[in-house]
Amino acid sequence: MKVLVTGANAFVGSYLVSELVGRGHEVVAGVRNERGNIPVGVETCSFPLGQIDEMKEALRQTEPDVIFHLAGQSNVPHAWNDPAATLQVNAVGTVDLIMAAYETVPEARIFTVGSSEEYGIAAKEHELLHEEVECKPQNPYASSKFIAGQVGMQLARKYGMNLIHLRPFNHFGPRQRKGFVISDFSSQIAAIEAGQMEPIISVGNLEAWRDFTDVRDIVGAYALLIEKEGLANGLYNVSSGTARKVGDILQRLIELSTVSIEVVVAPAKYRPNEVERFAGSNKKLQEAVDWKTQCAFDDSLRNTLYWWRNKYKETMEQL
């Protein structure tokens, strides 16, 4: 199967490309500019969201069986700072891609990747969020993903296209940039161990509970969905089904550290309209494909912290 992955050199995209190559698929890595994190031998193509003619040309040239759309703006604080740009990239960019596909490769199956953030304040009413829960997004990032999914499915119905919208819950692992909670904790601990920071970690709300999954398990689910024949249009959560307290995760990472660390709560790091508990039902996903998490959570924390340690070590060696 030939799969075009957009955002292929970013965090999740690079893992998905490797997963698909390992499963024997022909992969085209859609990138905006450089090919960092793309395995050697994988074909790349320029795929800049917002430039419709270039997207059409890339689709004509590659003729994918599947388009897996990961490119976008995924940082919630940035969405608050520039909501218009976030909507342009995530919502309008997705619509442009779907229309470009309709005009060039209408038979291609399309996967759009949204976010658990789409459920928003509805999480206060449900211990486990399932796909039938009414979404009540509470920030511009969440709204941009919700709009992308809703309009995408409307277009798919109108034009007879095969489109699946996915809502992954929190995921993490090596190579995730700062701006996400476990990566932020791990990067600060590694910097402290390397002597690049005072032994103080600045944190936001430690009382929040979130559904975390290793990125390798996330892309394993994506690959199974790609390979599933006859998968009908619709929504699928990708989640562990278990909520974990953010404060407990930080405590475990500190236990894994080689130094003593003080934790300081910074009110400025609290998100507006934050919901205390988010966890997703993965029942529909498991009914569609034989998927369950494989990575032990503690091992995933260790791997992420280890990656940040190596990153700071490499930085120090270059000085």
The pLDDT tens digits of the residues spanning 108-127 come to 999 999 999 999 999 999 99
Q: Are residues 205 and 217 in the same domain?
A: no
Instruction: Look at residue 165 and tell me whether its pLDDT is greater than 70.
Output: yes
Backbone angles phi, psi at 297, to 5 degrees: -60, -45
Contact status, residue 3 vs residue 66, Cβ threshold 8 Å: yes
Lowest-confidence segment of 64-73, 127-136, 252-261, 308-317 by average pLDDT: 308-317
Total domain count, the chain: 2
Q: State the average pLDDT over residues 128-149.
A: 97
Q: What is the DSSP string of 151-201?
A: HHHHHHHHHT-EEEEEEE--EE-TTPPSSSHHHHHHHHHHHHHTTSS-SEE
Q: Are residues 120 and 46 in the same domain?
A: yes
pLDDT value at position 318?
62
pTM: 0.95
- In angstroms, the CA 90 to CA 142 distance is 10
pLDDT-based confidence at residue 169 (cuts at 50, 70, 90):
very high
Provide CB contacts within 8 A for 85, sequence distance 6+.
Answer: 73
Does residue 185 belong to any structural domain of this protein? yes
pLDDT value at position 269?
75
pLDDT value at position 244?
98
pLDDT value at position 293?
96
Q: Which residue has tokens 């969440």?
A: 142
Contact status, residue 223 vs residue 294, Cβ threshold 8 Å: no
pLDDT value at position 121?
95
pLDDT value at position 317?
65
Does residue 282 belong to any structural domain of this protein? no
CATH number of the domain at 270, please.
3.90.25.10
Q: Are residues 194 and 167 in the same domain?
A: no
pLDDT-based confidence at residue 32 (cuts at 50, 70, 90):
confident
Sign, CA torsion 80/83/88/91: positive
Cα distances from 158 to residues 65, 100, 148, 153, 231, in angstroms, run: 20, 15, 15, 9, 18
CATH number of the domain at 84, please.
3.40.50.720
- In angstroms, the CA 142 to CA 155 distance is 20
The boundaries of the domain holding residue 95 are 2-172+213-238
Cα distances from 280 to residues 50, 164, 284, in angstroms, run: 31, 17, 11
Using CB atoms within 10 A of its CB, is residue 207 exposed (0-12), middle (13-18) or buried (19+)?
exposed
Instruction: Look at residue 106 and tell me whether its pLDDT is greater than 80.
Output: yes
- 197-244: pLDDT as tens digits: 999 998 988 999 999 999 999 999 999 999 999 999 999 999 999 999
Q: Which residue has tokens 């790609």?
A: 226
Does residue 284 belong to any structural domain of this protein? no
Q: Are residues 190 and 87 in the same domain?
A: no
The whole-chain average pLDDT of the chain stands at 95
Instruction: Look at residue 273 and tell me whether its pLDDT is greater than 70.
Output: no
27: tokens are: 């992969």
Provide CB contacts within 8 A for 145, sequence distance 6+.
Answer: 90, 91, 114, 115, 117, 118, 137
Cα distances from 138 to residues 85, 123, 145, 241, 274, in angstroms, run: 17, 11, 12, 22, 8
Does residue 290 belong to any structural domain of this protein? no
Does residue 286 belong to any structural domain of this protein? no
Q: Are residues 222 and 272 in the same domain?
A: no
Q: Are residues 52 and 193 in the same domain?
A: no
Q: Are residues 62 and 83 in the same domain?
A: yes
Q: Are residues 200 and 65 in the same domain?
A: no
Q: State the average pLDDT over residues 290-316.
A: 94
Contact status, residue 90 vs residue 143, Cβ threshold 8 Å: no
Q: Are residues 168 and 252 in the same domain?
A: no
Using CB atoms within 10 A of its CB, is residue 51 exposed (0-12), middle (13-18) or buried (19+)?
middle
Q: Are residues 51 and 188 in the same domain?
A: no
pLDDT-based confidence at residue 268 (cuts at 50, 70, 90):
confident
Instruction: Look at residue 319 and tell me whether its pLDDT is greater than 60.
Output: no
